[in-house]
Chain A
Amino acid sequence: MNLDGPLDFENEDPLVNPPTSVEKRNKVIGLDDLLSDFYKEKSKRIDKENRKRKASKLYDSDDEEHGKEALLSIVDDCRNQACMNKIVGEEDIQEWGLCMFGDQKTPEPSLLPDLDNCYLLKEFMNSQLNSVVGLRPDNATVLLEGLLTNGWLTKLVEGAPVEIGWLPNYQALKEALESYGFRINTSQDVELAEADSESQGPPQNISAWLKFVAACCQIRCKNPLFTASQVEQIAEILVWLLLDRGLQGLSLLSQECLVSVIGSFKEKEWVSSCKKIANSLASRVPQDMNCLRIVESVSGVDTRSKHLRSSISNQMLVVLLDHKDSDEKLMSSLMSINLKEKSCNLFRTYIFLVLAENWLFSSKLVEEKPVLMEMWVVFLRNCSRQISSTDLRPYASKVRTKAAYLLQGWRMEKQLKF
Chain B
Amino acid sequence: MSREKKGNTSRVINSYGGGLEANTMAMLDSSGTKDNRDANEDRLQYLEAVRAASLVPENGIPPTNKMYQAIFQILRFGRTLELITASFQLLSQLHQRFPWVYISDSAASGKHQLEIVDEAWSPFNFGSDVDSDENESSVRSSLFQELIQNLNNGVNESEESNLKILGNMFLFQYLVHFLKLDFTPRNLTYEETMNWSLLKESSLNLLLASRKVNFKLLMKDCLSTIHALFDADGKSISLVELHKGTLSAMKELLVMIMKLDESKKKADMEGITTRGDGVRTPAMEIIVDQLTYDGYLLSSFLQVFADPKLKLEIVLQYLTKYLPKPSVRTRRSHGPQAEDLKSLNGILKTFSNGTNAKSIIKKIGPDIVQILIGHAFLARLTIANPDKSDSITEICNSIISAFTNLK
Q: Do A and B come from one complex?
A: yes
Inter-chain CA distance A408–B18, complex, in Å, is 13
Using Cβ atoms and an 8 Å threshold, which residues of chain A touch B242? 249
Inter-chain CA distance A323–B21, complex, in Å, is 37
Chain A interface residues (CB < 8 Å from chain B): 1-4, 6-15, 27, 30, 33-34, 38, 45, 51-52, 54-56, 58-59, 70-71, 74, 77-78, 81, 85, 88-89, 93, 129, 131-132, 150-152, 155, 158, 201-202, 204, 206-207, 246-253, 255, 296, 299-301, 306, 357, 361-362, 401-402, 405, 408-409, 412-413, 415-416
23 pairs from A and B in contact (CB 8 Å cutoff): A6-B77, A9-B31, A12-B33, A13-B79, A14-B36, A27-B33, A30-B33, A34-B30, A45-B132, A71-B26, A81-B34, A131-B404, A132-B407, A204-B240, A247-B238, A249-B241, A251-B85, A300-B56, A306-B56, A402-B45, A408-B19, A408-B23, A415-B12
Inter-chain CA distance A52–B53, complex, in Å, is 20
Using Cβ atoms and an 8 Å threshold, which residues of chain B touch A78? 30, 33
Q: Are B16 and A207 in contact (CB under 8 A)?
A: no
Q: Are B241 and A361 in contact (CB under 8 A)?
A: no
Q: Are A77 and B30 in contact (CB under 8 A)?
A: yes
**Given B88, B137, B407, which contacts A7 in the complex, CB threshold below 8 Å?**
B137
Q: Which residue of B lies closest to A81 (CB)?
A: B33
B93 located at the interface, meaning its Cβ lies under 8 Å from any Cβ of chain A in the complex: yes
8 A Cβ contacts from B48-79 to A: 48-49, 51-53, 55-57, 73, 76-77, 79
B356 located at the interface, meaning its Cβ lies under 8 Å from any Cβ of chain A in the complex: no
Kindly provide the distance from the CB of A214 to the nearest chain B CB, expressed in whole angstroms: 14
Kindly provide the distance from the CB of B149 to the nearest chain A CB, expressed in whole angstroms: 10
Chain B interface residues (CB < 8 Å from chain A): 12-16, 18-24, 26-39, 41, 45, 48-49, 51-53, 55-57, 73, 76-77, 79, 81-82, 85, 88-89, 93, 97, 132, 136-137, 140, 142-143, 146-147, 150, 164, 166, 168, 236-242, 303, 378, 381-382, 400, 403-404, 407
Using Cβ atoms and an 8 Å threshold, which residues of chain B touch A71? 26
Q: Are A248 and B18 in contact (CB under 8 A)?
A: no
Contact A250 to B30, CB < 8 A, known contacts A89-B38, A155-B381: no
Q: Which residue of A lies closest to B92 (CB)?
A: A252
Using Cβ atoms and an 8 Å threshold, which residues of chain B touch A27? 33
Contact A3 to B146, CB < 8 A, known contacts A15-B36, A93-B38, A300-B55: yes
Using Cβ atoms and an 8 Å threshold, which residues of chain B touch A301? 55-56, 93, 97
**Given A132, A249, A252, which contacts B403 in the complex, CB threshold below 8 Å?**
A132
Q: Which residue of A lies closest to B17 (CB)?
A: A55
Q: Are B15 and A54 in contact (CB under 8 A)?
A: yes
Kindly provide the distance from the CB of B377 to the nearest chain A CB, expressed in whole angstroms: 9
**Given B21, B51, B53, B166, which contacts A55 in the complex, CB threshold below 8 Å?**
B21
Kindly provide the distance from the CB of B240 to the nearest chain A CB, expressed in whole angstroms: 5
Using Cβ atoms and an 8 Å threshold, which residues of chain A touch B236? 249
Using Cβ atoms and an 8 Å threshold, which residues of chain B touch A88? 35, 38
- Known: A15-B79, A59-B23; 5 extra A-B contacts, CB below 8 A, are A2-B146, A33-B33, A74-B29, A249-B166, A357-B52
Contact A248 to B81, CB < 8 A, known contacts A3-B143, A89-B38, A416-B12: yes
Inter-chain CA distance A6–B23, complex, in Å, is 25
**Given B19, B164, B237, which contacts A58 in the complex, CB threshold below 8 Å?**
B19
Q: Are B35 and A14 in contact (CB under 8 A)?
A: yes
Q: Are B381 and A247 in contact (CB under 8 A)?
A: no
Inter-chain CA distance A10–B39, complex, in Å, is 10
Counting chain B CB atoms within 10 Å of each CB, which of A2, A15, A55 scores highest?
A55
Using Cβ atoms and an 8 Å threshold, which residues of chain B touch A201? 237
Using Cβ atoms and an 8 Å threshold, which residues of chain A touch B238? 247-250
**Given B57, B137, B168, which contacts A361 in the complex, CB threshold below 8 Å?**
B57
Q: Are A248 and B56 in contact (CB under 8 A)?
A: no
Contact A409 to B35, CB < 8 A, known contacts A3-B147, A132-B400, A151-B378: no
Kindly provide the distance from the CB of B111 to the nearest chain A CB, expressed in whole angstroms: 31
Q: Are A207 and B41 in contact (CB under 8 A)?
A: no
Using Cβ atoms and an 8 Å threshold, which residues of chain B touch A405? 23-24, 26-27, 49
Inter-chain CA distance A7–B31, complex, in Å, is 12
Kindly provide the distance from the CB of A23 to the nearest chain B CB, expressed in whole angstroms: 11
Using Cβ atoms and an 8 Å threshold, which residues of chain A touch B89? 251-252, 255, 299
Using Cβ atoms and an 8 Å threshold, which residues of chain A touch B39? 9, 13
Using Cβ atoms and an 8 Å threshold, which residues of chain A touch B403? 132
Using Cβ atoms and an 8 Å threshold, which residues of chain B touch A33? 33
Q: Are B52 and A93 in contact (CB under 8 A)?
A: no
Inter-chain CA distance A248–B237, complex, in Å, is 9
Counting chain A CB atoms within 10 Å of each CB, which of B16, B33, B241 scores highest?
B33
Using Cβ atoms and an 8 Å threshold, which residues of chain A touch B132? 45
Using Cβ atoms and an 8 Å threshold, which residues of chain B touch A74? 26, 29-30
Contact A7 to B76, CB < 8 A, known contacts A81-B33, A89-B35: yes
Counting chain A CB atoms within 10 Å of each CB, which of B16, B21, B41 scores highest?
B16
Q: Which residue of A lies closest to B137 (CB)?
A: A7
Q: Are A299 and B237 in contact (CB under 8 A)?
A: no
Using Cβ atoms and an 8 Å threshold, which residues of chain B touch A246? 237
